[in-house]
Amino acid sequence: MRTKVAIVGAGPAGLMLSLLLRREGIDSVVLEARSRAYVEQRVRAGLLEQWARDLLIEIGAGERLQREGLVHDGIRLACDGRLHSIDFRQLVGRIVTIYDQKEVVKDLIALLLSRGGEILFEAAATALEGLDTATPVVHFHHGGEARSLACDFVAGCDGFHGISRPAIPDGVLTVYERGYPFGWLGILSESPPPSDELIYAFHERGFALFSMRSPTLSRLYLQCEPDEDLGRWPDQRVFDELEARLGGACPLARGPVLQKGVTPMRSVVVEPMQHGRLFLAGDSAHIQPPTGAKGMNLAFADVVYLSRALVAYERDGRTDGLEAYSRTCLDRVWKAQRFSWFMTQLLHRFPDETAFDRRRQRADIGYVAGSVAAATALAENYSGLPLA
């Protein structure tokens, strides 16, 4: 097989890249290790920044998004029984949209296939070869056979545990990593959310997040131990704890729990995000705490930059965009990491914190809630910085 761009991974990054390239007449093949059914049902959080929502609509993948996505004008901070509103629309003229990542993936797959794009499901990439040459090759298994895909460029969009990043030789990458001494215990509840906006709650017992999937489905999270035993958390205890951490700021409805799980938290950035003709995008290059809601948005930003660079190369023979890819992406990635860390340390309880730290956190929340300048900075970062 032969194509211009071999894309490893059919997540949001890989699918979006293939669509952006196809729009410009550049061929690509997407290789995905899992089945289509698995990929379309893989549970991930889904919050779209304003520009990412606009991009999906622009490329033709926004019909269901506009019909079913939940538009939010901002968020609310809960502290000491009070709700503080951060109005993005008023502060920076932007919104965010709740729309499950698996729904985004369904829409992108359907659109790509309808436009003649090529996705090979259950095609597990096994090796990347010739990354330092003009003709790299991706080896993979498909239909019980060993096959290969020759290409001009490889886009590694296969996540943190994929083969793309490990294909870069030892000593090339610098890995920046931070672990967190807590995780999130999350439930999906068949109950109306407590507010029409997301609530980020600060409490002596730990952080809580009150989100939603729809007007009748709530997605609720509690700060917990990273290795928390779910057996210790029957449904009633979960709701009791959520109610306690909401602090009486507003009523909390209860309902049947449909899902329950623990999400560990970490920050990872690798530099550079490229080697030879391999370009990393999305989770293969960076992981951030979910507090800042940046995962899918950063993945889209990476492939927008990469598609621009590949188009410039194909049309005009320019290499400046390809050479600057890592530097351009990392500028945005580190700003997103900074914001995710800011939100995480603002709202979570750390095991080694002191009474001083708790008072400082309250002062931080009061400052954000009471200062137009501080609230504007939060709104600007949360709703999405402009693309370079």
Q: Are residues 206 and 57 in the same domain?
A: no
The number of domains in the chain is 2
CATH label of the domain that carries residue 220: 3.30.9.10
Q: Are residues 218 and 253 in the same domain?
A: yes
CATH label of the domain that carries residue 57: 3.50.50.60
Q: Are residues 47 and 138 in the same domain?
A: yes
Which of 193, 194, 290, 305 is catalytic? The answer is 290
The answer to whether residue 142 is catalytic is no
Q: Are residues 259 and 270 in the same domain?
A: no
The pLDDT value given to residue 388: 80
Half-sphere exposure of 282 (CA within 13 A, CB side): 26
The answer to whether residue 294 is catalytic is yes
Q: Are residues 36 and 130 in the same domain?
A: yes
Q: What confidence tens digit (pLDDT) does each residue in 171-189 have?
A: 999 999 999 999 999 999 9
For residues 357 and 165, give the distance between their C-alpha atoms in angstroms, rounded to a whole number.
38
For residues 248 and 201, give the distance between their C-alpha atoms in angstroms, rounded to a whole number.
11
Whether the predicted pLDDT of 335 surpasses 80: yes
Mean pLDDT value across residues 130-151: 97
pLDDT over 70, % of the chain = 100
Q: Are residues 163 and 113 in the same domain?
A: yes
Q: What is the DSSP letter of 73?
A: S
The answer to whether residue 335 is catalytic is no
The answer to whether residue 72 is catalytic is yes
For residues 236 and 238, give the distance between their C-alpha atoms in angstroms, rounded to a whole number.
5
Q: What is the DSSP letter of 230?
A: G
Which of 203, 275, 286, 294 is catalytic? The answer is 294
Q: Are residues 66 and 209 in the same domain?
A: no
Residue 17 lies in a domain: yes
Tell me whether residue 144 is exposed, middle or buried, using C-beta atoms within 10 angstroms of its C-beta: 0 to 12, 13 to 18, 19 or more.
exposed
Q: Are residues 19 and 111 in the same domain?
A: yes
Residue 87 lies in a domain: no
Mean pLDDT value across residues 290-298: 95
Residue 23 lies in a domain: yes
Residue 83 lies in a domain: no
Q: Are residues 278 and 374 in the same domain?
A: no
Whether the predicted pLDDT of 164 surpasses 80: yes
Taking Cα atoms as reference points, which of 64, 58, 51 lies closest to residue 102? 64
Q: Are residues 51 and 141 in the same domain?
A: yes
The pair phi, psi for residue 156, each rounded to 5°, is -90, 95
The pLDDT value given to residue 265: 94
The pLDDT value given to residue 42: 83
The answer to whether residue 102 is catalytic is no
Which of 99, 200, 305, 325 is catalytic? The answer is 200
Q: Which domain holds residue 306?
A: 5-72+98-176+266-343
Q: What confidence tens digit (pLDDT) does each residue in 193-217 have?
A: 999 999 999 999 999 999 999 899 9
Residue 191 lies in a domain: yes
